[in-house]
Structure 1
Amino acid sequence: MNIETIAIHGGNHIDTKTKAVVQPIVMATTFERDADGGFSSGYQYSRSANPNRDALEKVLAQLEQGVEAAAFSSGNAAGMAVFQSLEPGSHIIAPDDMYHGLRNQLKQLFAGILEFDFIDVNNEETLRSHIKANTRVIWVETPSNPLLKITNIKKVVAIAREHNIKVVCDNTFATPVCQQPLTLGADLVMHSTTKYFGGHSDLMGGALITAEKTDWWEKIRNVQTMGGAIPSPMDCYYLVRSIKTLPYRVKGHVNNALLLAAFLENHPRVEQVMYPGLTSHPQQRIVKEQMTLPGAMMSFTLKGGEEEAKKVINSLKIFTQATSLGGVESLIEHRASVEGPDTKTPFNLLRVSVGLEHIDDLIADLEQAMA
């Protein structure tokens, strides 16, 4: 099936009793046992499994062309499950431009438990020089947050295979509508389902999708079940509902982003636009090879420095100054001030999540803010 069809039917089934065309919400935390003490329904306790979470995990796995998915209460919980599944002393190679929440997890929560290096994973020489005997995971994030760098997934996978290292790809910015890392050789895909999957800035979630059922995947599943950082049945229901429109929403986001990026690139007060859909993007060749669409996230820097960036962001009327991304509304953020004192993000950079408003209104808003 094509992705539009999977999004609608992959997480749904007709209720056998009522014949309702939309799967009902099962809020129960526990399920009745059989006379012999068994669980013929397949459900025992909602921390272990729930019909709504099963539906969500089913459609997530199909969208990414994986064999199984595990849903979590947030993207950070999903990422942490990967780190928790590794043996103490394991080494992780991560990108130098990476979502700060997961980077800070490694630096603050796993320091002394895991080893890690933040490097330019696209530089083959640098990547090879950082591989150790205890390296277990190469983490990639493409497009990256917030500099929109593109990682050549196939190239990283090829190097990882030489050393029996797993590759995990954070695909949050792209979504499976724009990019499917498992088809490019990655072992595991991570998402903050809070973002484009939810799409309306009103729920939180995370997910991991695997290419194969392995012993490592079972460890991750154990972290999910025993740790209990799971989404509620209601959140799972709303995610499945939102996913039905995901392919069409993402296409609308991308159409707006292409036009907005072109406007910004030609504006005299803009220093640089970082967007994979522009021909000026330094990794345009890789974008065309591994992405079907360039996504709807972008960053741009202003010639007037930090003061100018903050002046512009505070003059906007339609764009909302807020963290997060992937909702129907356009969001903009001075990213460096959110990432903390060790940020490497330029202080004149603004990150934009392009929404689904009319593009003329978005351009007019930025135009008046920079006037």
Structure 2
Amino acid sequence: MAKKFSPKGFGSAAVHGGHVQDPNYAHQTPIYASSTFVYDTAEQGMKRFSGAEEGYIYSRWGNPTFKEPEAKITALETFGLNIEAKGILHASGMAAISTLLLSTLKAGDKILTHYSLYAGTDDILRLLLPHFGIEAVVLDLRDLNKAEEAIKNDASIKLVYLETPANPTIQIVDIEALTTIAKRHNLLVACDNTFATPYLQQPLKYGVDFVVHSTTKFLNGHGTAIGGILIGRDVEWMKTKITKTHRMLGGNSNPFDAFLLTLGLKTLELRMERHCGNAIQVANFLSQHPAIAKVNYEGLASHPEHDIAKKQMRKPGGMLSFELKEGFEGGKKFMDALQMCTRTVSLGTVDTLLCHPPSMTHFSVPKEQREKYGITDGLIRMSVGIENIEDILSDLEQALSV
């Protein structure tokens, strides 16, 4: 049976939210490794396909192992808020974004977004959507006047897409202010909440219509599974058009990755506390180091959107980036010198991960565009892990001294 209590704490919701007792009384939600599901009668099959009876049909359409992480993440995004929403688990964050864009936009529509997005998102906006007759309008949405002017002067804009903190420059946009502007003009608003997680930031609180995550990152927390989720506050729309698009695109999750995500979510609060506590110490250390030209971290008073971050985030996050004075070659030399910290793309795992966006995650973005967005040749992105802080700082110190 479903747990009937309403948790008072976020950590309790992360552990118990969305869990329904398995018929065989397994402690953990089982892995339903089945591509398809059977029916007692032909009539039952007809009822399930028509929607007259609830039940599973085919794992591309849904699987019992998906149910708990979908409900759990939705519960965390709405924790403490009087908001109903529905989440749909996907094979990746990009699959979730694809479902969002292709179910809300059509030929002739435009999407308004801002500088410094995840490179995969930038690619889909720049290289794929134009083939469907959909155009991206990219502006510095930290300037609210620019945002309002663009929306007022272009009736083709139908969706405002936000990513805050932004990848990899840690730019912050004002979710509440931009959503207020968008809603004055009856536009949809979506927000990528991957960097912050619902523990630090809840975009639905500010009127956002859709939230997307790469669950591969902080929500899983251990680098063991790829995944994504799309959460919408219009439950009926999520159950109908959004679900139909998701199923047609085939970006479904799988039972094994969903199971690993469920396990990771249970320690989200604990991990985020340590990520955040370590990150502010790393940011303070780097901001005083002579080899560093600039540190991008919303927890520093020097960050241009520090006050906005304080308004919409519970704490500064576990992500930061910094510019090396020696540029591209300095970035390569620094990366090669790391000993404990991990050289890799991705983020949000328990170990500290560093990458060089100009040569790695954002290599596909044209150099002129990268620099315009603040992705300089010497930029290093850092996902601060939960190791002991003295070990993280020691590794950074020796790598910067090479």
Shorter-chain TM-score range: over 0.9
Aligned position for 2:118:
99
Return the letter of the residue paired with 1:267: H
* More moved, 70-79 vs 216-225: 216-225
1:75-154 matches, within 5 Å, as 75-85=93-103, 86-112=105-131, 113-131=133-151, 132-154=154-176
Question: What is the match of residue 28 of structure 2?
Answer: 22
Alignment partner, residue 81 of structure 2: none
> Is residue 76 of structure 2 the alignment partner of residue 54 of structure 1?
no
Letter of the aligned partner of 1:320 in structure 2?
A: T
Provide closer, same or farther for how the CA distance between residues 210 and 25 of structure 1 changes in structure 2, counting only shifts above 3 A.
same
What is the CA distance between 1:129 and its match in structure 2?
2.4
Q: 1:160 and 1:41, CA in 2 relative to 1: closer, same or farther beyond 3 A?
A: closer
Q: Summarize the Cα distance change of 1:88–1:224 in structure 2 as closer, same or farther, 3 Å threshold.
A: same
The aligned residue for residue 11 of structure 2 is 4
Residue 58 of structure 2 aligns to a residue in which SS?
coil
Of 44-53 and 334-343, deviating more is 334-343
1:31 aligns with 2:37: yes
Give, in angstroms, the shift of residue 278 of structure 1: 1.2
Report if aligned partners of 1:12, 1:55 keep a CA contact under 8 Å in 2. yes
Select the residue among 344, 363, 369 that pairs with 2:393: 363
Task: Give the counterpart of 2:356 among 331, 334, 355.
Answer: 334
Distance 1:199 1:129 in 2: 40
Match of 1:354 in 2: 384
The one of 181, 195, 217 equivalent to 1:159 is 181
Q: Distance in 2 between matches of 1:116 and 1:309?
A: 31
- The Cα shift of 1:284 comes to 1.3
8 Å CA contact 1:142, 1:148 repeated in 2? yes
1:101 counterpart SS class:
helix
Contact 2:66–2:89 (Cα < 8 Å) also in 1? yes
Deviations 1:277-308 (A, max 9, x none): 11211111111111001110000011222222
Q: Secondary structure at the match of 2:235?
A: coil
**SS in structure 2 of the partner of residue 209 of structure 1:** strand
> Do the aligned partners of 1:13 and 1:22 also contact (CA within 8 Å) in 2?
no
Distance of 1:349 and 1:216 partners within structure 2: 38
Report how many residues are paired: 370
Equivalent residues in 2 for 1:222-233 (5 A)? 222-233=244-255
Contact 2:18 2:75 in 1 (8 A): no
2:333 to 303, 311, 322: 311
1:194-241 deviation per Cα after TM superposition (whole angstroms, max 9, x unaligned): 101111112100111112225477322111122221110111111111
2:106 is paired with a residue of what secondary structure? coil
Specify the code of the residue in structure 2 equivalent to 1:364: S
Among residues 241, 252, 258, which one is paired with 1:219 in the alignment? Answer: 241
2: CA distance, partners of 1:44 / 1:307: 54
Distance (Å, rounded) in 2 between the aligned partners of 1:62 and 1:274:
31
Q: Does the 8 Å CA contact 2:352/2:387 hold for their aligned counterparts?
A: yes
Residues 16-68 of structure 1 deviation map (CA, whole Å, 9 limit, x = unaligned): 3x322212111122222132521466111111111111112111111111510
The DSSP-based 3-state class of the residue aligned with 1:20 is: coil
Q: Provide structure 2 residue ranges, at least 5 long, that are not aligned to the other structure.
A: 1-6, 79-83
**Are the aligned partners of 2:323 and 2:378 in contact in 1 as well (CA < 8 Å)?**
yes
Q: Could you report, residue by residue, the CA deviation over 1:77-121 in whole angstroms, capped at 9, with x for unpaired residues?
A: 111111111222111001111111011011111114201111111
- 2:314 paired residue among 283, 292, 301: 292
Which ranges of 4 or more aligned residues in structure 1 deviate by more than 6 Å? none
Higher helix share: 2
Secondary structure at the residue paired with 1:140?
strand
1:333 and 1:69, CA in 2 relative to 1: closer, same or farther beyond 3 A?
same
Q: 2: distance between equivalents of 1:218 and 1:139?
A: 22
The answer to whether the 8 A contact 1:11-1:240 is kept is no
Q: CA deviation at 1:316?
A: 0.8
Q: Which structure 1 segments of 5+ residues have no match? A: none
| Aligned twin of 2:92 | 74
**Structure 2 CA distance for aligned equivalents of residues 260 and 149 of structure 1:** 18
Asked if the contact 1:74–1:192 (Cα under 8 Å) also holds between the matched residues in 2, the reply is yes
Quick one: distance in 1 between partners of 2:379 and 2:300? Answer: 17
Change (3 A) 1:217 1:20: closer
